Amino acid sequence: MNLYLTSPGKLSRRDNTLQFRKFELPEEYVLSEEECPLPEDQANGPTHNLPVETIDAIYLFGETRLNTKLLTFLAQKNVPVHIFNYWGHHTGSFMPHAGQLSGDLVIEQGQAFRDPERRLTICKAIADAKMHNAISVLAYYRRRHKEVENTESQLRELRTQAAAATSPGELMGFEGMCARIYYGSWRHWLCDTPEDFTRVYHPPDNPVNAMISFLNSLLYTACVSELHRTALYPGISYLHAPQSRRFSLALDLVEPFKPLMVDRLIFRLFNQGDIAKADFAPHSNGVLLKDDARRRVLQAWDAQLKTTVKHPALNRSVSYRQLIRLDCYKLIKHLLEAAQLQMYRIAY
């Protein structure tokens, strides 16, 4: 399981397990970007003992105090720590030493990036899976909203054109056009979606954009955790240009899962009334999830990671978290054995 800490407090090691002591702070400290004063003598909140053996990763959203003894302990247990700012954006991760290392694989990753044909093959596999899954989402809603038929046809045509792209840049152009059309269709079935809805990143200008950004960050960190459990080097990517301050391979590998894990969860939360406009507060030039709503979203997200689906190739049920790792293994097999690469996709 994942451990999500949304309240301010101190996380420490106690008798070969974890202990979290909550701090009771005024609201103005909790919502501030500035460092919160957390004197030890005011640590008057409840204490929770947390079994470290059951924790896959730790997500820090509140003002949390920790020390190097704790980090050493987490490294021994191979538990990564992902840190988010008060906007809900991922700002960094503490990653234990990789459990698997393969110089041959890293060399192959680099050679595949340098080879235009090999890189384009990987890019097309990722982009095609994302477009396929977006079309699958539209096909589901088309049965109840006939207005979506034209949008679905447009995406199918763009997918066909993208298959003939001759460079990652051209492919990204088709993917961008596909995304604009896809997001523009959400208003037909998603509650509280503006008529002229477009994707806005920093800062998100409405509740839907705020949810997309927040859940995309959670998906990215879930992929970072899964990459860490393989021998892939996360700094060499193909569809996205390699970046110096992000695990850019995770940016590639999450693309096919955005329609499946992020978008469908947003539709469910809004349309079932679990999240509404009242759960967002205006902040600066955008909107921000309130603390209580963020906890509900995290609970729904964690449940989704554990949700199982039937894997056609394995003929057994696997969780969404495992599906991400399986796509990592597919890429490894493609790089080392030249196996055909097809990222995960759902049926129409």
Euclidean distance between CA atoms 299 and 305, whole angstroms: 10
Rounded Cα distance between 106 and 125, Å, is: 20
Question: Per-residue pLDDT averaged across 115-127, rounded?
Answer: 96
* Residue 172 confidence class, pLDDT cut points 50, 70, 90: very high
Same domain flag for 135 and 236: yes
Among 27-41, 50-64, 241-255, 291-305, the minimum mean pLDDT is found in 27-41
Regarding whether 188 and 267 lie in a shared domain, the answer is yes
Residues spanned by the domain of 7? 2-94
Q: What is the pLDDT of residue 158?
A: 95
If asked whether residues 23 and 141 sit together in one domain, one would say no
Q: 8: domain CATH number?
A: 3.100.10.20
Position of tokens 């205006």? 282
Is residue 38 scored above 60 in pLDDT? no
3-state secondary structure of 259: helix
Residues 139 and 283 in one domain: yes
For residues 170 and 298, state if they share a domain.
Answer: yes
pLDDT at position 283 = 77
Cα torsion angle, 162, 248, 221, 281, sign: negative
- Whether the predicted pLDDT of 57 surpasses 80: yes
Total Cβ atoms within 10 A of residue 44? 9
Q: What percent of the chain has pLDDT over 90?
A: 58
Model confidence at 266, pLDDT cuts 50, 70, 90, reads very high
Is there a single domain that holds both residue 107 and residue 84? no
* Structural domain count, the chain: 2
Range 8-35 average pLDDT = 73
Q: Is the pLDDT of residue 340 over 80?
A: yes
Tallying the residues shown for the chain, one arrives at: 348
The last residue of one of the domains, among 44, 73, 94, is: 94
Give pLDDT tens digits for 130-148: 999 999 999 988 888 777 8
**How confident is the model at residue 93, as a pLDDT?**
92
Contact 193, 205 (CB under 8 A): no
Does the predicted model carry a pTM greater than 0.85? Answer: yes
Bigger pLDDT: 197 or 307? 307
Residue 343 covered by a domain: no
Q: What is the pLDDT of residues 204-240, one digit of tens each?
A: 888 999 999 999 999 999 999 999 999 999 999 999 9
Residues 48 and 127 in one domain: no
Please report, as a single letter, which amino acid is at residue 202.
H
- Of the three residues 70, 94, 118, the one that is the final residue of a domain is 94
CATH code: domain of residue 312: 1.20.120.920
Secondary-structure breakdown of the chain: helix, strand, coil percentages, each rounded to the nearest 5 = 50, 15, 35
Domain boundary at 94, 128, 148, which?
A: 94
pLDDT tens track for 89-119: 888 999 988 767 788 999 999 999 999 999 9
Please name the residues in contact with 102: beta carbons below 8 A apart, sequence gap of 6 or more. 231
Same domain, 261 and 326: yes
| Mean pLDDT, all residues of the chain | 88
Residues 90 and 126 in one domain: no
Q: What percent of the chain has pLDDT over 70?
A: 93
Q: Are residues 253 and 195 in the same domain?
A: yes
Across 323-345, average pLDDT: 94
Q: CA–CA separation, 53 vs 69, rounded Å?
A: 17
Q: Do residue 181 and residue 320 come from a single domain?
A: yes
